[in-house]
Chains A and B, each alone.
Chain A
Amino acid sequence: MQYPELITDDNAFSALRAECGEVFDTNQRLPHQVFRQKFAKYYVFEYGRILRKDFSTFLTNVARNFEEGAVNYMTLDPDPVEYYHRNCGFYGLASFEPNTLIANYIKVMHRDGNVESFRARGGDVGVMWGSSRKWGIFCDRVSWELCLMGSSLKLDESLMGTVDCMGAGQLNNYLENLYRNKHGVALKFLRTLGENYPTLR
């Protein structure tokens, strides 16, 4: 296969999905509690960040911070099995070695512009996590165009600055722009998010 990061082996997929299940409650969606554990810090940034080339540098630095063996991405919607395995021959899950993230991240996410890539059809809702299970990023394009990162450690500001984390005011403004004709939707989301992740307030 052209992209060895894409998981095709049944056992490898089962193991990684189980690992994912330790970090995320994959049945939940934002603004509800999507993490299995209570993290020390939460960060919010734009969904579009994860499809930029420089996001691989951010992930590499996070991986170094936590001494990761692997950094993984799995799409929740569309389903990694029902959609991806059935239609594409691989599971909707990619596992990156930290030392090749910079070289391969965009290639795997974009797959030369394939319509079934995680960038195009995939990733309406997706998750990223490290093999340490000490951090995770819940990525929601379809509803909120947001990424919520939970981390067991407070990460260096210079590191988090590379993804331009939003403060409460920015988040409010961002959502009100997205839901410009539905202010009630944005307000309800922000209220529930604040209840579930109080440190974001």
Chain B
Amino acid sequence: MMASGEIRLLPTTMRRMPVLAQSQTSGTAQNQYPDAIYSGPGPLEAAAVAGELGVEALISNIVSAVVNFVSGLEGGSVTAYSDSTAEGANVTNFLTDATAEDADAALKGNGFTVTVSADGNATIYTTAEGEGGTYVIRPSNSAPGGAAMDYYPINGNEPFKINFGGPPYTPGQ
């Protein structure tokens, strides 16, 4: 189980991450996919080696790390996420049993700056240099499946969405 504030970096391939097992008690993504996850520096340290990794890899690592945080926060029943993208759909969707509050804490803990819209219905998270892209969390009354978080990379391509508070999706069910 990860400690709060710790960050783990995933490989650069964010899209179509493996669907996790459905057990809610069998541990984190780290336990289930030990080969896919390894420890690494946080975003600020990672930024220092951006020149070595390349900007795209850096962004991908930060994105993956935040998703991993959301799925593996310590002290709760948050244990899993899965790719719930509908067949034929292009915007990748993930479903996690984490909550929007978990994600909020994870992003703040990783140095993201928070801005709230005038009516409070959108909260946006950015990094000072913008290298982490932008996350937008909307409450449950603003998304079909409940509270959700959109991620937008800085180049305008390949957004994805994380749907909170549901049981991990099983394709075909």
Contacts and interface: CB of A to CB of B under 8 A. Distances in A.
A177 B86 contact: yes
A188 B115 CA distance: 37
Contacts of B122: 115, 120-121
B60 interface: no
B142 interface: yes
Contact of B145 (A51, A110, A116, A180): A180
Contact of A177 (B90, B93, B119, B126): B93
Nearest to A78: B119
Nearest to B95: A180
Interface string A117-156: 0011100100000000000000001111100000000000
Interface stretch (A5-13, A14-22, A166-174, A193-201): A166-174
Interface string B108-151: 00000001111101111010001000101000001111000000
B87 interface: yes
17 contacts: A48-B161, A51-B159, A53-B155, A53-B156, A53-B157, A83-B118, A110-B134, A115-B117, A116-B117, A119-B152, A145-B144, A164-B88, A164-B90, A166-B88, A173-B86, A177-B86, A178-B144
Interface of A: 46, 48-49, 51-54, 78, 83, 87-88, 106, 110, 113-116, 119-121, 124, 141-145, 164, 166, 170, 173-174, 176-181
Interface of B: 84-91, 93, 95, 115-119, 121-124, 126, 130, 134, 136, 142-145, 152, 155-159, 161, 166, 169
